[in-house]
Amino acid sequence: MNMTQAPLTKTTCPYCGVGCGVAVPSGAERNTPVAGDASHPVNKGRLCSKGSLLGETTGLENRLLHPMRNGARIGWDEALDEVATKFSSIIAEHGPDAVAFYVSGQLLTEDYYVANKLMKGFIGSGNIDTNSRLCMSSAVAAHKRAFGEDVVPGCYEDFEEADLVILVGSNTAWCHPILYQRLLAARERRGTRIIVIDPRRTATCDEADLHLAIAPGADLALFNALFCELAACGASDPAFITAHTEGLDEALDAALLAHPSLAATAEACGLDPDTLETFIRWFAETERVVTAFSQGINQSQSGVDQANAIINCHLLTGRIGRPGMGPFSLTGQPNAMGGREVGGLANQLAAHLDFSESACGLLARFWESDRIASSPGLKAVDLFDAVADGRIKALWIMATNPVVSLPDADAVRKALLDCEFVVLSDCIAGTDTAACADLLLPAVAWGEKDGTVTNSERRISRQRAFMLPAGEARPDWWIISEVARRMGFADAFAYGSSADIFREHARLSGFENEGSRIFDISALSEITDADYDALSSLQWPLREGGGTARLFADGGFPTPSGRARFTAVSPVPRAASARFPFTLNSGRLRDQWHTMTRTGLSPTLGSNAQEPEAEINDLDARDVGIEDGGLVRIVTEYGAAIFRARVTAAQRRGSLFVPIHWSSENSAGSGAGRLAHRARDPLSGQPAFKHTPARAEAVAPLWRAFFLTRTEIAKPQYGYFARRRVEGGFLYELAGIGPGDGPPDVENLAPAHGAVEYVEMRDKHAGALRQAALLGGRLEKCLILTRQGALPPRDWLIGLLASESLSEEDRRTLLSGRGAGASGGEGRIVCACMGVRAGAIHAAIASGAADVAAIGECTGAGTNCGSCRPEIRLLIAQHRKDEAA
Ligand code: SF4
């Protein structure tokens, strides 16, 4: 379809908190390519690799199409009746706190609103929490402590108007790519300085003027030191402090106690004193400073304190709410902030209300309910503990995969399997969590959904449907409302559309508000269906129809005194462990999202990071005997998992990093959640995913293999496997680890159907096996196995899946295991947006392309979202090194 001529549906990307606009031909078929929405103020037409390839993920593969009970299809009425009856009977017998919802930043605000209203407004329990707890609840708690309400003061334009941008605990280049590209473009114009604070040397460091490779968990010491030094050097803003803040002396006293000297703090942070001094000096001398923070700050036992330490520095200097300055929480999920607006976190009510008597009364009047929850519910980790010990007997999970993503994930799986009644509403069928649920309810997916989301800068944008729902899938708000109706709350849940819910949500934000809460979108309370359909993106608060980009430049904090609060915070020393000498960190990769239930459908996105890799510093790897590309077992107090080792100087000594994306659906349990400890921030309850004590052990496999097949096979039962989609089929990387892991052959991996021809080559001496199965002359599957040698490149074999029949030469090549020589089209995908592989980039470098721009001209790589540019630079550097050797 011609994107320039077909009428376009404008919607919003479902991945990260940047919230880019996406344009799709209206009425598009599934798997139709998408484009960036040129009119959306966030991205102005650009998309990152994940957004660009959304079209590859809208097919029906792995979709949940019908309500299912224990694997059998049932009707909607039966399914909804069962949920309502089970929840009602458990509430009647054990009280409202015996049930819970666990929801998701993937839900639209309207879905979230209805779920929260049912649990906190009519069931009468606070037990609804969200996977945003794992992502930014520490930032929420810090905002409330400092500002009185969960409010991000600035906007994305501040990244473009700043002279210094500090990125703390954020691999922005990969996790918020379009915002990062906006920053780099602005830097071209105004020479913005960029500082990255991160124990790892990430892709974001590639463009940094200064990288502080800080010791894990030392951020609080660092920002306390900055706070003290700013106060000492006269960088404070006395007028702002006097007019708009309180608590400075107590905060400064606490910070000074923790900062005896620059040298001592530098040592505590693992930094050299000159680097620390430069950081402080640049902050002190630059008026326009943005400090953006993300999971590296939030996912810590001191997450809230760390965020408040950052905010303290901005309050001290009065650099808040003005162009180019302020603390800025980068949210991970597309609608993490929308969930916060409607009370998706267990410790807050809808419309930014807390659990005070007056707030509960307000909600009781607005919802006309006498069952409002009067106290906070259980936060995510505590909630699943309550499922495990039987306090919670019925759990409804919506649009998330906690069996993979929560810490101590094996215990979560067990808790669900033991729970009396588990419902999962989701658009995906085959998740680790679905395997533990009694009842599956099919929800609409991106492209079928209709509602709103709010991004990191308080910008509400529309997600619009451009396809019909798959199978019997229904909107989440409809599913929840139908259950509510069957539980006896029909009048309060008589919604006919997402627009109905949005109007009520907007009305509630202004109800008895009178300026007491900043979250107020009551200007949209009477929005018509047509205007809701056409709604352009807007930043709240929206009291008089227009959006608000920045807040707090002139005070007006929603605290009782109207002043922002400095927070007294002190670092808490952590004990070292002899059994677990490493600190395990986890995070996202450039081309994947969450547990890969969507991005995993794209062969292109799967080609960059092909297996679950654990990063380890080269000196640590040498000490432990781990080789680059070998296997490594990571062990924590909670579990063990095997990864492909990536040995790199980018990893700080004593630290390990694993990606969060793999699950037991696509690997032998190489999930970060299985390893993560249960420690969490005492205020926010956010798990400290960045700091699990761990150890690393080399693994010597008995054999290694890969298996290429046109059709998916049952999960291989070996000590190590990793599955990914490739063009035309699936690729499984396999390794035998324990005595039970006998080597496979093609037939036992995937029994044949039809007149299959086998070709095979065994080399007993070398311990090699190469087998292929052909059907009608076409390659169906092949296995390449070795006990000691190297495995050949995969791409030439993947290319054979596209051939209608194999030539004699192809057969000989396949069995010889030589593979094809490097050609321009081979190797992993480096630039997912333009589909450019490493081979093409090597060829461009060899033919004289000397920098990223030249390679872009030759190949197109790096010319769209730019997330791959650091990797292209690495390839150029590697090429030069190889030439010099
Ligand atoms: Fe989607 Fe990428 Fe934009 Fe994030 S930066 S919203 S993943 S296109």
Residue 823 reports pLDDT greater than 70: no
Residue 32 Cα to ligand 1 midpoint, Å, equals 18
Pocket test for ligand 1, best of 43, 48, 337 (most atoms within 8 A of CB): 48
Percentage of residues in the chain having pLDDT higher than 70: 98
Residue 701 reports pLDDT greater than 80: yes
What was the pLDDT predicted at 379?
98
Q: 66: closest CA among 426, 403, 422, 446? A: 426
CB 442 within 8 A of CB 428: no
In the three-class reduction of DSSP (H, G, I as helix; E, B as strand; rest coil), residue 245 is classed as strand
Q: Tens of pLDDT along 716-740?
A: 999 999 999 999 999 999 999 998 9
What was the pLDDT predicted at 826?
66
Q: Report the nearest atom of ligand 1 relative to the CA of 12.
A: 6
User: Can you tell me the distance from the alpha carbon of 345 to that of 355, in angstroms, rounded to the nearest whole number?
Assistant: 12
Residue 228 reports pLDDT greater than 80: yes
Query: What are the angstrom distances between the C-alpha of 676 and each of 609, 643, 679, 699, 742?
Result: 21, 15, 9, 21, 30
Pocket test for ligand 1, best of 11, 40, 43, 598 (most atoms within 8 A of CB): 43
Residue 290 Cα to ligand 1 midpoint, Å, equals 21
Q: Report the nearest atom of ligand 1 relative to the CA of 52.
A: 8
Residue 332 Cα to ligand 1 midpoint, Å, equals 10
Query: What are the angstrom distances between the C-alpha of 47 and each of 112, 188, 337, 340, 461?
Result: 26, 20, 21, 25, 16
Residue 334 Cα to ligand 1 midpoint, Å, equals 9
Residue 349 reports pLDDT greater than 60: yes
Residue closest by Cα to atom 3 of ligand 1: 20
What was the pLDDT predicted at 813?
79
What was the pLDDT predicted at 817?
62
H helices of 346-486, in order, are: 357-367, 380-388, 402-405, 409-418, 476-486
Burial of residue 445, with CB atoms counted within 10 A of its CB: 0-12 exposed, 13-18 middle, 19 or more buried: buried
What was the pLDDT predicted at 169?
97
Ligand 1-lining residues (CB < 6 angstroms): 13, 15-16, 18-20, 43, 47-48, 50-51, 176-178
pTM strictly above 0.85:
yes
What was the pLDDT predicted at 824?
42
Q: Tens of pLDDT along 641-690?
A: 999 999 999 999 999 999 999 999 999 989 999 999 999 999 999 999 99
Pocket test for ligand 1, best of 10, 11, 12, 15 (most atoms within 8 A of CB): 15
Q: Tens of pLDDT along 403-449?
A: 999 999 999 999 999 999 999 999 999 899 999 999 999 999 999 99
Overall residue count recorded for the chain in this entry: 885
Residue closest by Cα to atom 4 of ligand 1: 16
Residue 867 Cα to ligand 1 midpoint, Å, equals 11
CB 552 within 8 A of CB 519: no
What was the pLDDT predicted at 545?
55
- Cα dihedral sign for 416, 417, 422, 427? positive
Band of pLDDT at residue 820, cut at 50, 70 and 90: very low
Q: Report the nearest atom of ligand 1 relative to the CA of 36.
A: 8
Q: Report the nearest atom of ligand 1 relative to the CA of 334.
A: 6
Q: Tens of pLDDT along 766-817?
A: 789 999 999 988 999 999 999 988 898 888 888 888 888 888 888 887 877 6
Q: Report the nearest atom of ligand 1 relative to the CA of 15.
A: 7
Q: Tens of pLDDT along 318-347?
A: 999 999 999 999 998 889 899 999 999 999
Residue with tokens 């390794």, as numbered in its chain: 735
Q: Report the nearest atom of ligand 1 relative to the CA of 47.
A: 8
Residue 179 Cα to ligand 1 midpoint, Å, equals 9
Q: Report the nearest atom of ligand 1 relative to the CA of 22.
A: 8
Residue 833 Cα to ligand 1 midpoint, Å, equals 12
Mean pLDDT rounded to a whole number for the chain: 94
Residue 13 Cα to ligand 1 midpoint, Å, equals 6
